[in-house]
């Protein structure tokens, strides 16, 4: 897996094997960042269920100001740390090892993030719970959700772009907080 574009274009991301690990494909990442375009620049990114960290690192490579990665599993959290150092993003990222929904409910730094990637494990029923926790945060943010096409559509935000389908993966683009009212 490699960074697709930006300052670290072509850099390889280290991953290993872990139970339930399902990295976002290059095709889906490319589609997400084509939709986001320059909206990534200067953003504070929250990468929930981060896995390898590919979405957050892609955002950093494309000009995001900082990325906060939340990953429950030890091995993938270690991959993120390793990848961040190898990509020379010291000071521009932080890894929190823990449950994403608990993090959203208990950690105030989540509210500071204005671009969120959420790619919960498929079939675990976490999409609606994650969106509900995000909608309870103060402030505004854009949220990009990856889900299995068999899971229910996200209801907690207002769509800001049309959803895209890529095989079994659906990507939704939602607005939360004041961003809904501003129509940004």
Give the model confidence (pLDDT) of 37-86 as tens digits: 999 999 999 999 999 899 999 999 999 999 999 999 999 999 999 999 99
Q: Residue 23 pLDDT more than 60?
A: yes
Domains and CATH numbers, the chain: 26-182 (3.40.50.150)
**Would the pLDDT of 15 be above 60?**
yes
Report the residue count for the chain.
Answer: 184
pLDDT confidence tier of residue 155, bands split at 50, 70 and 90 = low
C-alpha to C-alpha distance for 68 and 92, rounded to whole angstroms: 9
The answer on pLDDT for 183 being more than 50 is no
Q: pLDDT tier at 178 (50, 70, 90 boundaries)? A: low
| 4 pLDDT above the threshold of 90 | yes
Distances, alpha carbon 107 to alpha carbons 46, 90, 111, in Å: 12, 22, 8
| pLDDT at site 108 | 87
Residue 119: which of 71, 166, 161, 74 has the closest Cα? 71
Residue 10 or residue 155, greater confidence? 10
Among 115, 121, 85, 79, CA closest to 101: 121
- The whole-model pTM stands at 0.91
Confidence (pLDDT) at 21: 64
Q: Residue 180: is its pLDDT beyond 60?
A: no
Average pLDDT score over residue span 160-168: 82
Q: Indicate whether 137 pLDDT > 50.
A: yes
The three-state DSSP-derived secondary structure of 94-141 is EEEECCHHHHHHHCHHHHHCCEEEECCCCCCCHHHHHHHHHHCCCCCE
Q: What is the percentage of the chain residues whose pLDDT exceeds 70?
A: 91
The pLDDT score that the predictor gives to residue 182 is: 47
Q: pLDDT tens digits for 74-124?
A: 999 999 999 999 999 999 999 999 999 999 999 889 999 999 999 998 888
């Amino acid at each position: 897996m490699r960074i697709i574009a930006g300052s670290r274009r072509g850099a390889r991301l280290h991953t290993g094997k872990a139970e339930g690990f399902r990295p976002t494909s290059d095709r889906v990442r490319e589609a997400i960042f084509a939709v986001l375009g320059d909206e990534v620049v200067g953003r504070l990114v929250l990468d929930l269920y981060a896995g390898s960290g590919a979405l957050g690192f892609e955002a950093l490579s494309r000009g995001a100001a900082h990325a906060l990665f939340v990953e429950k599993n030890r091995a993938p959290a270690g991959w993120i740390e390793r990848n961040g150092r190898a990509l020379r993003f010291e000071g521009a990222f932080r890894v929190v090892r823990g449950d994403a929904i608990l993090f959203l409910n208990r950690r105030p730094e989540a509210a500071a993030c204005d671009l969120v990637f959420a790619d919960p494990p498929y079939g675990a029923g976490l999409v609606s719970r994650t969106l509900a926790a995000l909608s309870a945060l103060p402030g505004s943010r854009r949220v990009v959700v990856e889900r299995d096409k068999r899971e229910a559509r996200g209801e907690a935000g207002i769509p800001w772009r049309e959803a895209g389908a890529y095989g079994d993966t659906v990507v939704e683009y939602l607005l939360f907080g004041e961003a809904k009212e501003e129509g940004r």
